[in-house]
Each structure stands twice: as structure tokens, then as C-alpha cells.
Amino acid sequence: MVKHVILWKLKDELAGEEKEQVKAGIKEGLEGLAGQIPGLIEVKVRTECLPSSTADVMLDTTFDSVESLKGYAVHPKHVAVADSKVRPYTAIRSCMDYKI
């Protein structure tokens, strides 16, 4: 199995209610992919951060294989969520993939 963890820092111009709406949209969009992507075992988005955090949103996913992770990256449903709910609002993306 493979873990795919992403941390995003949202754009500085997002604040208050708008920032919360963006975070909720990211969470809803990505968690909505559960059961729709082959090999995606688990997907969880964290948006409630402690003040000590340097990221705004965390994606924690589990895949059954490296090949499934590669397929997820280009799957049309994932790309649609990334292009509409994630990429327009993020300034920094950090990723870590590892086998478990």
C-alpha cells in the first residue's frame, strides 16, 4: 500500500469566510472522490489547524499500489476537482508519498 500526503498553503489574499469556504470546497471535492477512483482505499482532508501550523489544508490518502496512485493523478474526476477547487486557491504544495 502507498500513502500520498499533500500539504497546501492557501493564497495570502484568502481570509475569513472566503478562506473557510475554499477549505470546505477542497474537503468536499477531494473526499467526494471516495469510491470513484480505482485503487483509492481511503481519503481524508484536514482543514482544522492549530495556530502553530504552517499549512492550511492536508490531504491524507491511501492507495493499494504505486500504479493506483499514478492513475489517480491523471484520473478525470481527480483532475476536475484539482483544477476547480484546489489549484486556483493554493500558493504552495508539498507532497510526500511512501510505502506502508
Q: Which of 15, 5, 60, 70 is nearest to 34 (CA)?
A: 60
Residue 81: the pLDDT is: 98
Planar angle of CA 74, 61, 11, nearest 5 degrees: 75
State if pTM tops 0.75: yes
Residue 10 phi/psi, 5-degree rounding, is -75, 160
Predicted confidence band of residue 23 (pLDDT cuts 50, 70, 90)? very high
Of 60, 33, 29, the closest CA to residue 46 belongs to 60
Domain count, the chain: 1
Residue 88's pLDDT is: 98
Task: State residue 82's pLDDT score.
Answer: 98
Residue 61: which CATH number?
3.30.70.100
pLDDT digits (tens, 9 = 90+) for 25-81: 999 999 999 999 999 999 999 999 999 999 999 999 999 999 999 999 999 999 999
Rounded CA-CA distance 100/88 in Å is 31
Residue 64 belongs to domain spanning: 1-97
pLDDT at 38: 97
pLDDT, residue 29, reads 98
pLDDT bracket for residue 14 (50, 70, 90): very high
